[in-house]
Structure 1
Amino acid sequence: MPLPNKEQNQPSSSPSPSASKKGKLYIVGIGPGSVEQLTVHAKNVILNADYILGNDTYLDQIESLITTQNVYRSSMGQEVDRAKEAVKMAENHVAVMVSGGDANVYGMAGIVIEVAERNHLDVDIEVVPGVTAMLAGASVLGAPIVTDAATISLSDLLTPWEVIEKRLDLASQADFIISLYNPKSRQRTSNFERAIEIIKRHKPAHVPVGLVKNALRGDEQEFIVTTLGDVLNYNDWVDMRTAIIICNSDSRIWKSPHGDKIITPRGYQKKYEY
């Protein structure tokens, strides 16, 4: 469905310096993608914004909250332009930059605040947290993340692959639970397989792995519970919408009557009887 007529596809002109209203800049994590998964504060901020900025996917996900707000949308890959526009709008208006998941986890918080610093923005900036893909996926899988964990993005657009490989290697050696972000795209088809081969050097084949596609997005959600030894059997199933959680050597799969769950013990069994 189209957004209201106030939507803007091109950068707006700078707000008038004579405007009496002092601005504010919000950077809002919208969580997994459904309005029901927004925090109450995030929802209120969006509803009361003068301007909302984001890429097409995220704006479509919150479309039901857009009424009289001005909308600036752009496509993936235009994050810098979007951040510059948000800073410009926030000088005299309440501007909201929306970001999928949590804005601090591979989201828009970093670039927006960098641009604000570079432009000496003199208004309050508030980052509103959201449920990130690792936590959304974990909630579907049961209890795979209850102890030390690492998040590693497999996108080498901004981070050299050599750095990603080192992080994968060291996190696996330390037996961290590892959540993989951005596992595969049309241009990056081999990074997921390469990452699994690195992790296999240090983690045993029986380690549980959870794959969740479209986590907490209603009927679109799908998930697979498997092991590190077998996960590449699902290589063709993995895409950019897939959250991947590779557990530690203590984790196990529970064949629950209501579907497979992953349990990572935190250590209570070593101290208590239950």
Structure 2
Amino acid sequence: MLYVIGIGPGNEEFFTKEAENILNSVDMIVCYKGYKEYIERFQKEIYVNGMTKEVERVEYALNQAKNKTVALVSNGDATIYGLASLAFELNEKNFEKVEINVVSGITSASICSAILGAPLNHDFSVVSLSDLLTPLEKILKRIICAFESDMILAIYNPLGKKRKEPFLSALEIILDYSKDRNIDYVIGIVKNAGRDKQEYKITTINGILENLDYYMDYIDMSTTLIVGNSNTKIINGKMITPRGYLSKY
């Protein structure tokens, strides 16, 4: 049996009860080496490896799951930029008979929305700016589609040390729509959401561009951005997107 488990940001209070129960009951845990610190408390046999070794990690978990109960751990939710889909793909390709159960976790967009106030209180989309597996052209097209439909946009993996073009290109798109619609889009920036060094800032697209060097240094892969829609506003220092109740009733 293979369980594919999302553990949220990693801090204990964000583990679901279901995840806790299963991780306490499995024979071993498989995860990215950066998540090991969050699952050591379960005192299980642990297998870890590094970035870009996802296929090897999932294959190892599936092979072990033939004779053991194994937990394959992702941060956030394993079905949102996680390893759940890869587990099913490799199981079909190479293993076929391993039973897989997926356990949901809290994705960064949900946690960041609560930290910022309530920016995701209407229709939204989530886009990762990592172009390792997805061509940048397709990523930018998806961002354009979000703005064309006036959806709130959550951005994962915004800026890496050697990967700046996707972020700068995304800013250009936001600025174009800002000028065209005369909207200074509100943007929430959350670092280390749900972790010990959590912090956030609320600004606008013009605020970022006016202090671009600062934000290019501040934003990293542990950061999530939420870009509001045309109705998003700042209320008492929090980022809020109205659902529409006051205008309807």
TM-score by length of 2: 0.94
Indicate conservation of the 8 Å contact 1:91/1:121, yes or no.
no
- 1:142 Cα deviation after fit: 0.5
Counterpart selection for 2:242 from 244, 260, 265: 265
SS in 2 for 1:47: helix
Identity %: 41
1:10-21 to 2 correspondence within 5 Å?
none
2:175 corresponding residue in structure 1: 200
1:21 corresponding residue in structure 2: none
Partner deviation per Cα, 1:125-180 (whole Å, 9 max, x = no partner): 11101011111111100100011101111011110111111111111111110000
- 1:120 Cα deviation after fit: 3.7
1:57-96 to 2 correspondence within 5 Å?
57-65=34-42, 67=43, 69-96=44-71
- 1:124 Cα deviation after fit: 2.1
Indicate conservation of the 8 Å contact 1:28/1:97, yes or no.
yes
1:211-222 to 2 correspondence within 5 Å?
211-218=189-196, 220-222=197-199
Indicate conservation of the 8 Å contact 2:7/2:14, yes or no.
yes
The whole-number CA distance in structure 2 between the counterparts of 1:225 and 1:97 is 35
Counterpart selection for 1:252 from 230, 233, 239: 233
1:139 corresponding residue in structure 2: 114
1:240 corresponding residue in structure 2: 221
- 1:34 Cα deviation after fit: 0.3
TM-score by length of 1: 0.85
Aligned residues: 242
2:134 corresponding residue in structure 1: 159
- 1:92 Cα deviation after fit: 1.2
The whole-number CA distance in structure 1 between the counterparts of 2:184 and 2:41 is 44
2:19 corresponding residue in structure 1: 42
TM-align CA RMSD: 1.2
SS in 2 for 1:229: helix
| Runs (5+) with no aligned partner, structure 1 | 1-23
Instruction: State the one-letter code of the partner of 1:36.
Output: E
| Runs (5+) with no aligned partner, structure 2 | none
Larger Rg: 1
Instruction: State the one-letter code of the partner of 2:36.
Output: L
1:15-34 to 2 correspondence within 5 Å?
24-34=1-11
The whole-number CA distance in structure 1 between the counterparts of 2:221 and 2:41 is 24
